Amino acid sequence: MSADTIVQIAPAEPAGADLTDAMIEIGRRARAASQILATAPESRKNVALTAMAAALRNREAAILTANQVDVEAASAQGAAAAHVDRLRLTPDRVEAMARGIEEISELADPVGRVLARWDRPNGLRIERVATPLGVVGVIYESRPNVTADAGALCLKAGNAVVLRGGSDSLGTARAIHDGLVAGLSHAGLPETAIQIVPTTDRQAVGEMLAGLGGTLDVIVPRGGKSLVARVQEEARVPVFAHLEGICHVYVHGPADLDMASRIVVNAKMRRTGICGAAETLLVDRTLRDSHLAPLIDSLIAAGCAIRGDEAAQEADARVEPATEGDWCTEYLDAILSVRVVDGLDAAIDHIARYGTQHTEAIVTDDARAAEAFLERVDSAIVVHNASTQFADGGEFGMGAEIGIATGRMHARGPVGVEQLTSFKYRVRGSGQTRP
């Protein structure tokens, strides 16, 4: 399907059973493309990625024009400033997308890695080898860069992808998609390897959640909590996602106050809107007199509002009372809940009760306490003496990520190209039969 075909489909948007059929057809094309991608050589995938980056740069004017239309429509409909900002592209942002694709092309090929290898006493040689997952569905909201990032990451891992962007950014997404398709075409790879759903009908999301007739292997939602919740609730295929990141920092005695202060302020305030931002500070009771007030003071000095338990309120008059609801709130804002806890067990219990198994940190000089925290806290990422904001595929050295998963199946933590692969067993014999 060429980009031109997509544009032709759009004017007469299918609905109901027709839309179901059209979506399943998209899935079938993706499955067929995935079978070609599965054995595509690394060099060809990288040629496509490099050509995609060039195509985005070449099409900068067209992309910005399409984006201007989307931005004006959103503004006319009264979209909030933050929403319009997420939607808006600039020459710098287009260049960042192109550079992001080039960085993905520079990653090692995740397909074909030998994950394990052993011989059996009967002479069979067994290898566990990474293979693509197959077909990935990505459902996202306003950010147009997801089109480029997700398309490139899936291609690198040998997967076909079906992209369903926000209705407010469909024009922008299509202009970017044109560039991705140009790259695929340049490399002789199937253009259906990266498809974009050509309708804003919300039924299309339902069709993806139903699995597109068994052709989708996994769905990745990228967006706000209501989108992720809907996907997690309704999807009939596996989902890589996190619903919320209610991340904790636990300052345990003994802990260097300066280091604790720097880590806590960074974990909360570096960027408040990302999933790895801290939402609750737990301070050990042994540090109540020495650390609590200075920690609160540095947070407030950095512009953070504090909602705390009685001890926190006593430590600083500017602290507002925390309610039960605060312990389970992902503020994504310059607000932090603060609680004094009675030791490691109480901190771990608090995290088990209110946490979302995303990222938690302990700040302590006590190596034994740190190891116990790292072992016992059941989160995708557990951190000793560093900021929770390192919860990021790039910071982990994994390259770009398609998201962060908090489930326990297949992918957990940052979902990069390696996490977008599966595996199979290759068995080499010399005539062995089973006794």
Binding residues vs a second copy (CB under 8 A): 35, 38-39, 118, 120, 124, 126, 131, 133-134, 217-218, 238, 256, 259, 262-263, 265-267, 270, 352, 370, 374-376, 378-387, 389-390, 395-397, 408-410, 412-413, 422-434
Name the residue nearer to a second copy (CB basis): 132 or 198.
132
Q: Which of 248, 228, 239 is nearest to 377 (CA)?
A: 248
At closest approach, how far in Å is the CB of 414 from a second copy? Answer: 8
Q: Check if the beta carbon of residue 104 is closer than 8 Å to that of residue 409.
A: no
β-strand pairing of 278-284 with 335-341:
parallel
The residues, any chain, with a CB within 8 Å of residue 423's CB and separated by 6 or more, are 115, 128, 129, 130, 131
Amino acid of residue 164: R
Structure tokens given for 234: 């309704």
Residue 138: strand, helix, or coil: strand
- Closer to a second copy by CB, 204 or 381: give it: 381
Tokens of 216: 């989708």
Q: Which is nearer to a second copy, 83 or 350 (CB)?
A: 350
* Distance in angstroms (rounded) separating the CA atoms of residues 404 and 21: 32
Q: What does the angle CA 24 – CA 101 – CA 74 come to, to the nearest 5 degrees?
A: 65
CB of 119 to a second copy, least distance (A): 9
The residue among 15 and 124 lying less far from a second copy, judged by its C-beta, is 124
Nearer to a second copy, 201 or 207 (CB): 207
Q: Between 3 and 386, whose beta carbon lies closer to a second copy?
A: 386
Min. distance of Cβ 431 from a second copy in angstroms? 4
User: For residues 232 and 290, which CB has a smaller minimum distance to a second copy in the complex?
Assistant: 232
Report whether 378 contacts 406 (CB < 8 A).
no
Closest separation in Å from C-beta 415 to a second copy? 12
Minimum CB distance to a second copy, residue 272 (Å): 13
Closer residue to a second copy (CB): 8 or 35: 35
Cβ neighbour number for residue 96 with a 10 Å cutoff: 14
Residue whose CB is less far from a second copy, 197 or 381:
381
Is the CB of 157 or the CB of 182 nearer to a second copy? 157
Residue 134: C-alpha distances to residues 29, 33, 406, 421 (Å):
12, 9, 21, 8
Half-sphere exposure of 308 (CA within 13 A, CB side): 28
Compute the least distance from the CB of residue 142 to a second copy, in Å. 25
Query: What is the SS3 assignment for 410?
Result: coil
CB of 68 to a second copy, least distance (A): 33
Cβ distance to a second copy smaller for residue 52 or 405: 405
Q: How far is the CB of 300 from a second copy (least distance, A)?
A: 18
Nearest to 50 by CA among 62, 60, 58: 58
The residues with which 119 forms a beta bridge, in sequence order, are 125
- DSSP for 59-124, please give it: THHHHHHHHHHHHHHHHHTT--HHHHHHH---HHHHHHHHHHHHHHHHSPP-TT-EEEEEE-TTS-
CB 364 within 8 A of CB 335: no
Element spanning 25, H or E: helix 16-37
